[in-house]
């Protein structure tokens, strides 16, 4: 880690109170400075993630019905076609009817987004969300 530099921040008292609640929710291991650093990194990563050529590691989670016709085989087909971008996946049988799948993918931002959208677009997928972090590389 590079040298720490101190600076002061001015903010409205009510915003500071909300911020301190956030710090408290993040637990004893975090203080104001650490949470500010986390938030700055979060903003920088989401800005970097917007660059279509940035390399990202994305986590796609999706929920679908176990009973939907052909859905599992369509999802498998898409994943096999992109085996070089998919690092890992996990399947959870949520209840008698629903499955949760978590798929970790790595590659160029624009390709990972397209891949995520093609998975989320399969008929029968009820809900899904892609989150990502960047590796700092550009492809
Ligand atoms: Ni299942």
Say how many Å lie between the CA of residue 92 and the centre of ligand 1: 6
Could you tell me which of 115, 129, 45 has the C-alpha nearest to residue 84? Answer: 115
pLDDT of residue 1: 67
Cα(100) to centroid(ligand 1), Å: 7
What is the model's pLDDT at position 22? 93
Q: Which of 109, 53, 118 is nearest to 82 (CA)?
A: 118
Taking a 5 Å cut-off on Cβ, the residues next to ion ligand 1 are: 93, 99
The pLDDT of residue 23 is: 93
Rounded to the nearest whole angstrom, what is the distance from the C-alpha of residue 45 to the centroid of ligand 1? 32
pLDDT at 42: 87
How much is the pLDDT for 46?
83
Please tell me the distance between residue 101's alpha carbon and the centre of ligand 1 in angstroms. Answer: 8
Q: What is the pLDDT along the chain (139 residues), one digit of tens a residue?
A: 689 999 999 999 999 999 999 999 998 888 999 999 999 998 888 888 889 999 999 999 999 998 988 999 999 999 999 999 999 999 999 999 999 999 999 999 999 999 999 999 999 999 999 999 999 899 9
**pLDDT (0 to 100) of residue 30:** 87
CA–centroid distance, 114 to ligand 1, in Å, is 24
Distance (angstroms) between ligand 1 centre and the Cα of 93 equals: 4
Per-residue pLDDT, 122: 93
Predicted pLDDT at 85: 97
- Give residues with Cβ within 8 angstroms of 61, minimum separation 6: 100, 101, 102, 103, 128, 129
76 CA distance to ligand 1 middle (Å): 13
């Amino acid at each position: 880690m590079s040298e720490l530099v101190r600076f002061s921040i001015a903010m409205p008292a009510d915003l500071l109170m909300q911020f301190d609640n956030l710090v408290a929710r993040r637990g004893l291991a975090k203080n104001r400075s650490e949470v500010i650093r986390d938030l700055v990194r979060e903003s920088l990563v989401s800005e970097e993630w917007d660059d279509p050529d940035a390399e990202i590691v994305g986590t796609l989670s999706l929920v679908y019905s176990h009973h939907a016709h052909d859905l599992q085989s369509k999802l498998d087909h898409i994943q096999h076609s992109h085996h070089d971008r998919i690092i890992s996946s996990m399947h959870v049988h949520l209840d008698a009817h629903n499955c949760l799948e978590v798929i970790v993918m790595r590659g160029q931002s624009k390709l990972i987004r397209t891949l995520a959208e093609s998975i989320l677009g399969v008929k029968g997928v009820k809900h899904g969300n892609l989150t990502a972090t960047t590796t700092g590389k550009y492809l």
